[in-house]
Amino acid sequence: MLTSESKPKQRKLSEEDVTRDMLQSLERGEQPKATPPQSDRKEGVTDYPILNFDERALRLLHQGVSETLKTSKVKPAGGKVYEVSKRLFDIVASAGALTVLALPIGVVALLIYMEDKGNPFFSQVRLTKDGKPFKMYKLRTMCVDAEARFAEVMKQNQTDGIAFKNDKDPRITRIGGFLRKTSIDELPQLFNTLRGDMSIIGPRPPLPREVVLYTPEQMDRLLVKGGLSCICQTEGRSDMEFDKWVEGDVKYIKTRSPKLDLKLIFKTVAAVLRCKGAK
């Protein structure tokens, strides 16, 4: 019989260990162990098992997503001609918008800096097609140490599912609330679009800490390049249930076309002007 002194010490799992374990589960088509079954999860996730990802962990996640998507039954619509025309449109539209909006973005950036003297721009690792990581840019709406303080607020999730939302998040600055409500904070993502990280229309790029909790079906939203807006952003945004959000993204992937993209662009403009579902 082992005494308390002679019991072998249990090695503490690192975030990389947890990531690898989750990826192996996903590759086998299983629900990640750290995530309760979707039917049992009535409220949003309030305890993310992994908060910080180094480069190696991101590579593991990218690999796991890519392998999982190889078995997906969802086939993205649109062929080579559509892909090329979509990219050309993204370049022209984002370059034109940045030219027109450069001065307004600069003014807003100055106002953000004046509030707390911190960098007015914020970058965050997100995942796009096949789980490829990239840095997504925004105008900063939170305090400068917001990412470091996420552990303090993650139990205050006000949405169902995996994405985190809290309209009373104490990390949001005074001007940040207005920028979120009007979606002005998203304008620097036009630069991501110009670079090719994102598209004008496509599923919103998720955070790595969210993707490790995805089921293989939810991972289908990573079959195509992420975008500034998609069906969810025109029909409810933050007010939409997570499952409905995923359904909307998969519906877009299955039916995408130049006509649908243009329709969603106009609907996005209307939703932004009405501040519909923005938080």
Per-residue pLDDT in tens (0 to 9) along the chain, 279 residues: 444 444 444 444 455 565 566 666 655 555 454 444 444 445 667 677 766 788 888 999 999 999 999 999 999 999 999 999 999 999 999 999 999 999 999 999 999 999 999 999 999 999 999 999 999 999 999 998 888 888 888 777 767 667 777 778 889 899 999 999 899 999 999 999 999 999 999 999 999 988 988 999 999 999 999 999 999 988 866 667 888 899 999 999 999 999 999 999 999 999 888 876 565
37 occurs within a structural domain: no
113 occurs within a structural domain: yes
DSSP-assigned states of every residue in 216-249: TTGGGGGSS--EEE-HHHHHTGGGS-HHHHHHHH
237 occurs within a structural domain: yes
11 occurs within a structural domain: no
161 occurs within a structural domain: yes
d(CA 16, CA 268): 38
255 occurs within a structural domain: yes
Contacts 24+ apart (CB under 8 A), 4-9: none
Tally of domains in the chain: 1
Q: What are phi and psi of 183, to 5 degrees?
A: 65, 15
Find, among 153, 154, 139, the residue nearest to 47 by Cα.
Answer: 154
Neighbours of 186 (CB within 10 A): 21
15 occurs within a structural domain: no
The model carries a pTM of 0.81
d(CA 43, CA 45): 7
41 occurs within a structural domain: no
- Residue range of the domain that includes 108: 47-273
